[in-house]
Chain A
Amino acid sequence: MIASDLKAMTPVMPADIAAKAAARMGDAVTMDEDGALVVEAAKLPALVRLLRDEHHLNYLSNLTCVDWPDRFETVYHLCSMQGGGQVTVKVAADKARPIVPSLTSIFPGADLQEREVWDMYGVRFAGHPNLRRILMWEGFAGHPMRKDWREAYYEQDQKPLKSRWPNGEFFFGEDTLSNWADNIKYPTGYAAEGLIDEGRADNNIAVIDAAALKLNPDIQGDHVIVNMGPQHPSTHGVFQMRLTLDGETVMDLQPVMGYMHRNHEKIGERNLWLGNMPFTDRLDYLAQLGNEWGYALTVEKMMEVAVPERAEYIRVIMAELTRVQSHMWGITFLLNDIGAFFTPMMYAIEERELILDLFEMTTGSRLMCNYMRFGGVAYDLPPEFMPMARTLVYDRLEKAVDEMDSYLTNNEIVRERMQGVGILPPEMAISYSTSGPVLRASGVPYDVRRAEPYGIYDRFDWDVVTRPEGDIFARYMVRLGEIRESLKILKQALAQIPEGPIMGGKKAWQIRVPAGQHYGRVENPRGELGFYLVSTGESNPYRYHVRSPCFVNLTALAEMSKGHKVADVVAILGSIDIVLGEVDR
C-alpha cells in the first residue's frame, strides 16, 4: 500500500513555534542565537508538553548533551510528524551536580538516549525508571565523553602507558595476574574479580522465583532468565537480550549493548572535520554512503557551501543504491532469522555484489567508500558506471525484487511467522521515536526525504511506502516497497543527471567550520540518521553526536516482544534490522 503524501499536510515552522512557545512560557525560556529554546531545568517537562500538545511536535528526534566549560547542556530536537524542521530545546545543568528532569514519561523514546547521556556525561535524569550505564560496562569509572576525561594511551600525559613500562622495562599484559589490565580504573567499591565467585551457591541456579519478580500475579511457577547473546547466531552481532521467560513466552526483555562500543563520538571529536568522513562509513556499514551524506550535509549547512548539480545527482544515485542493497540484505536476513536456511540471502547477495561493484568502480572501495566531501563528491563517475548502472536499475534489480516478492511474500510459513507478531501501534511508534521502515510499517507516512527534503529529493516523483498493520510482515513489505521506490528515483536520477563540476567551493586542505551548531538528518535505510555537530571554529568538532536509528529503534524492542515466544523475539529483532556498528558506536 502506498500511503498519502505528506505534501498535503502543512509542515510546521520551527522558528514560529519557538517564538510562540517562548512567549507562552515567560521568563523561564529564552532563545539563543541559533534559534534554540533555552529553558530552566525545572520547566523542561512543561515546555516539552506544551510543544507536543499545542504545536504538534510529537516526535523526539534526538537527545544528547554537550560539555561546555561552565555547564552541561542537554539538547533535545523535536519534530512534527507533519513534516518540517525541528525545534531545538536546551537545558543547562550544573557542572558539579548535573541533574535534568527525565522526559521518559512524555516520550518513552528518550529511555535509551537518556541512559546514553548518563553513561557518557554523567548527567542524571530525575525520574528515569532505569538509569544505568548502557554502552560502557558497569565496572567503568568516569564518564568518557566529558572533556576532562583522558582516554588511556591517546590522551594520557605520558606515552606509552606508565603501567606498561613501570621502570622502562617492558612486559606482556598477559603476564600480570589481573585479567583486567592496570590502565582500567574501577569505581570505588567495585570488585571486578568478585563477579565470578567460585564458591557462591547460586552460581548455577538457572531459575528465579516468579513471585519475587511480580510480573504476573496469576503465575505461580518459576521464570527462567536467558541471556540471548552477545554470542548468538541471530543477534546480528554482539547484541544481547536478557529475556525473562515463562516457558517459551517472553515476560520481559532488556536490551544490553555496548560490546562493540569504541566511542565513535569521542574519536570523532579528536579527528579533523574531514577525517570523520571515512569514519562515518564504520557506523552502519551496510549504508555507508548514506552515513557520509548525513555528515557532509550537516557540515555543509554549517559552512554554507553549495553543492553543484552533478554532485547532488551522484549523491542521490549512490544513496538510493545503498538503500536497495541494504534493504535486500535486511529482508533476507529477516528470512534467515525465521529459519530459511540462507537460500533467500544468497540470491539477494548476488544482486548486492553487483551494486557494490558500482561503488568499487567509483569510490575504490566496496564497503568503506570515503566518497563524499564537503561541497560535493571526491571522484566523478567513471565512464563504465552509467551503462552498468542502467542495466542494473532498468533490467536486473526490478526482476530480482519481483522474484523475491513472488517466492517469499505468499509463502505460508513466512506469513504464519510474520503476521500479527511484534505489533507496534502508530502512536507508540511515534512516541518511542522509532524511524525508518519500523515507523512507516506502523502506518505513519514519515520519511525525512519527504518531511524535510534534503539534497534534490523534492524533484523526484516517488511515494512514501507505508503499511497499516505494524507487524513484522508490514516491515518486510515496507522494505520491499522501498526498494521499488528507490528504483523509481534511480531511474529518474540516471536519466536527468547533468554534466558539470562535482565539487563546489575552493579546494581546501584544512577545513574550517565557522562556530555554531547544526542538527542534520537524512533518511538512511534503517531510519533517521542525525548528526548533531557543534563547532567552536577549531579544526575539529567540539561535539560530534550521531543519532543512530538502530539504537533508538531498539527502545521499542521490549514493548514489541512482550508476550511473544522466543522464536518471535528473534524475528522481531530481525525486522528492526539493526547494525551493531551503529548501535554501539
Chain B
Amino acid sequence: MNPDLTPTIWILLEAVVKGAIVIGALLTGFAYSTWFERKVIARMQVRLGPNKAGPAGLLLPAADGLKLFFKENIIPRAVDKGIFFLAPLISMTVAVLAFAVIPVGDPTEVPWREGLLQLGIADFDVALLYLLGVTSFAVYGIALAGWASNNKFALIGGLRAGAQMISYELAMGLSILGVVMIVGSLSLHEIVVWQKAHVWLVLLQPLGFVIYVITAIAETNRAPFDMPEAEQELIAGYHTEYTGMRFALFFQAEYIAMLTVCALAAALFLGGYSLPGVELPWFGDLAVFLGKVIAGMFVFVWIRATMPRLRYDQLMDFGWKVLLPLSIINVVATAVGLALYQNGVFG
C-alpha cells in the first residue's frame, strides 16, 4: 500500500464510524422523541401517557418499530410506483444528511491519532450554507409523495408543503444571516467558539432567534404550521397512502428534522455545546448539547399541545408579510450596528 495514502484512509474510516454513530443516535433520538412527545402531551392533557410497555412506557418506541416492520406494505394500484418508493427515501436521506455538520463538542485529544478529533462528522467553512441547501431538499420528498400517491388529500398536502417550505426558507435564511455577519464565518464550529469567547448570540440577535424558531416550526411542518399533514382537513396529508416502514420513514424524517433544527438553534443562538464560563470535558459538552436539544424538543411539543392550527392562507400571509420584512429589518439593523461598532461608536 502506498504509505502516503494511509492518513487519508484513516480519515475516511473515522468519518464512516462517526457517521454510523450519528445515524444510530439519530434513530434512537427519533424513537425517544416520540416517547417524549407522547409523555409530555399526556401530562399537559391530564393523562398518564404510555405506561404499559416497559417502565414508564420506555419500550413503546421499540414496540412501535416492531409493529411497523411487520405491517403490510400497501401500494395502491394507481400510484406512480417509482416516485412513490423514492419519496420517503429522499425525506429520510435529507434529514440525516443535515446533521453531518452539527458540532456536538469541542475538538478533543484521542490516543489513536495525532491532532484533535472533531466531535461532529465534518466541519467545513460553508457548513451553514450546506445545511440550508440540504434541508431545502426535504420539500422534494414531501411534494413528490403527495404527487405520486394519486390521492387528492395527498396532492393538496404536497402542494401546501411546497408553498410553505419555500416561503419560510427565505425568512429562515435571513434570520440566520445576522449571526453570520457578527461571527464572520459560516462554520458552525466557529460560531460556537465565538459564542464561547464572547456571548450567546440570542442576546445580540433576539429578533433573529424568534424568527428562526417560528420558521423552524414551519420548516419541519409541526403544529401550528402542520398544514401538509393537517389531520382534521387532509386526513394525513402527503403520507395518507403510505403504510408500514415507508410511513415510518416520513415520520422519522420529521422527527430527525426537528432534532436538527433544535441542534442548529443551539449552535447558532444558544452557545452550542458550551456553557458560559465553564470548561467541560468532551462528555460534558455532549451532555450540554443534548440538554439544549431536549429543551428545544420540549418547546416543539409544548406548542403542539396548546395551539390550534393556522389556516393555510393565513400562514402564507404571515410568512410573506410579517416574517420576511422583519427578517430583512433584522439584517439591516445588524449591518448598521456592526458598522457602528467597528468604527468605534460604542467606545
Given A232-B235, A233-B235, A336-B232: A413 touches B307 (CB 8 Å cut-off): yes
CB distance from A419 to the nearest CB of B (A): 12
User: How big is the A interface, by class?
Assistant: 20 to 34
- Check: B309 CB closer than 8 A to any chain A CB: yes
Interface residues of B in 29-55 (CB under 8 A from A): 41, 44-47
CB distance from A560 to the nearest CB of B (A): 16
CB-CB under 8 A from B311, the residues of chain A are 416-417, 565, 567-568
A378 to B235, CA, bound (A): 44
Interface residues of B in 119-156 (CB under 8 A from A): 150, 152-153, 155-156
CB distance from B304 to the nearest CB of A (A): 6
CB distance from A563 to the nearest CB of B (A): 12
Q: Let me know if B232 and A565 touch, CB within 8 A.
A: no
- Check: B305 CB closer than 8 A to any chain A CB: yes
Q: Let me know if A234 and B47 touch, CB within 8 A.
A: no
Q: Let me know if B152 and A567 touch, CB within 8 A.
A: no
- Check: A31 CB closer than 8 A to any chain B CB: no
Q: Let me know if A234 and B310 touch, CB within 8 A.
A: no
CB-CB under 8 A from B306, the residues of chain A are 340, 343
Which A residue sits closest to B150, measured CB to CB?
A204
CB-CB under 8 A from A226, the residues of chain B are 152-153, 156
Residue in contact with A347 in the complex, picked from B41, B46, B152, B227, CB distance below 8 Å: B46
Interface residues of A in 323-359 (CB under 8 A from B): 335-343, 346-347, 350
- Check: A17 CB closer than 8 A to any chain B CB: no
- Check: A10 CB closer than 8 A to any chain B CB: no
Q: Let me know if A413 and B308 touch, CB within 8 A.
A: yes
Q: Let me know if A566 and B233 touch, CB within 8 A.
A: yes
CB-CB under 8 A from A224, the residues of chain B are 152
B210-231 contact mask (Cβ, 8 Å, vs A): 1 or 0: 0000000000000110110011
Q: Let me know if B233 and A234 touch, CB within 8 A.
A: yes
Residue in contact with B230 in the complex, picked from A335, A342, A411, A567, CB distance below 8 Å: A567
User: How big is the B interface, by class?
Assistant: 20 to 34
Residue in contact with B152 in the complex, picked from A206, A232, A234, A417, CB distance below 8 Å: A206
- Check: B314 CB closer than 8 A to any chain A CB: yes
CB-CB under 8 A from B313, the residues of chain A are 248, 565
CB distance from A132 to the nearest CB of B (A): 23
- Check: A570 CB closer than 8 A to any chain B CB: yes
Q: Let me know if B235 and A343 touch, CB within 8 A.
A: no
CB-CB under 8 A from B232, the residues of chain A are 233-234, 336-339, 567, 570
- Check: B1 CB closer than 8 A to any chain A CB: no
A413 to B234, CA, bound (A): 19
- Check: A381 CB closer than 8 A to any chain B CB: no
Q: Let me know if A342 and B45 touch, CB within 8 A.
A: yes
CB distance from B226 to the nearest CB of A (A): 8
CB-CB under 8 A from B305, the residues of chain A are 341, 343
Q: Let me know if A570 and B308 touch, CB within 8 A.
A: no
- Check: A414 CB closer than 8 A to any chain B CB: yes
Residue in contact with B233 in the complex, picked from A347, A350, A570, CB distance below 8 Å: A570
Residue in contact with A340 in the complex, picked from B152, B155, B235, B307, CB distance below 8 Å: B307
CB distance from B217 to the nearest CB of A (A): 13
Interface residues of A in 212-260 (CB under 8 A from B): 224, 226, 232-234, 248
CB-CB under 8 A from B227, the residues of chain A are 567
Which A residue sits closest to B314, measured CB to CB?
A416
CB-CB under 8 A from A417, the residues of chain B are 308-311, 314
CB-CB under 8 A from A338, the residues of chain B are 232, 308-309
CB distance from B158 to the nearest CB of A (A): 13
- Check: B312 CB closer than 8 A to any chain A CB: yes
CB-CB under 8 A from B223, the residues of chain A are 339, 341
CB-CB under 8 A from A339, the residues of chain B are 223-224, 226, 230-232, 307-310
CB-CB under 8 A from A346, the residues of chain B are 45-47
CB-CB under 8 A from B345, the residues of chain A are none
* Most chain A CB inside 10 Å of its own CB: which residue of B44, B231, B233, B306: B233
Which A residue sits closest to B234, measured CB to CB?
A566
Residue in contact with B309 in the complex, picked from A232, A233, A248, A413, CB distance below 8 Å: A413
CB distance from B74 to the nearest CB of A (A): 15
Which B residue sits closest to A206, measured CB to CB?
B152
CB-CB under 8 A from A343, the residues of chain B are 41, 44-45, 305-306
CB distance from B322 to the nearest CB of A (A): 12
CB-CB under 8 A from B152, the residues of chain A are 206, 224, 226
CB distance from B223 to the nearest CB of A (A): 6
B299-332 contact mask (Cβ, 8 Å, vs A): 1 or 0: 0000011111111111000000000000000000
Q: Let me know if B312 and A341 touch, CB within 8 A.
A: no
- For this complex, 12 residue pairs linking A to B, each with C-beta atoms less than 8 Å apart, are A204-B78, A234-B231, A339-B224, A339-B308, A341-B223, A346-B47, A411-B307, A413-B224, A413-B310, A565-B312, A566-B156, A570-B233
Q: A339-B309, A343-B41 are in contact. List 8 more A-B contacts (CB 8 A).
A: A233-B232, A340-B307, A341-B41, A341-B305, A346-B46, A411-B308, A567-B312, A568-B311
Name the 7 nearest CB pairs between A and B, nearest first: A339-B309, A346-B45, A234-B232, A340-B308, A339-B308, A338-B308, A567-B311
Binding site for B on A (CB under 8 A): 204, 206, 224, 226, 232-234, 248, 335-343, 346-347, 350, 411, 413-414, 416-417, 565-568, 570
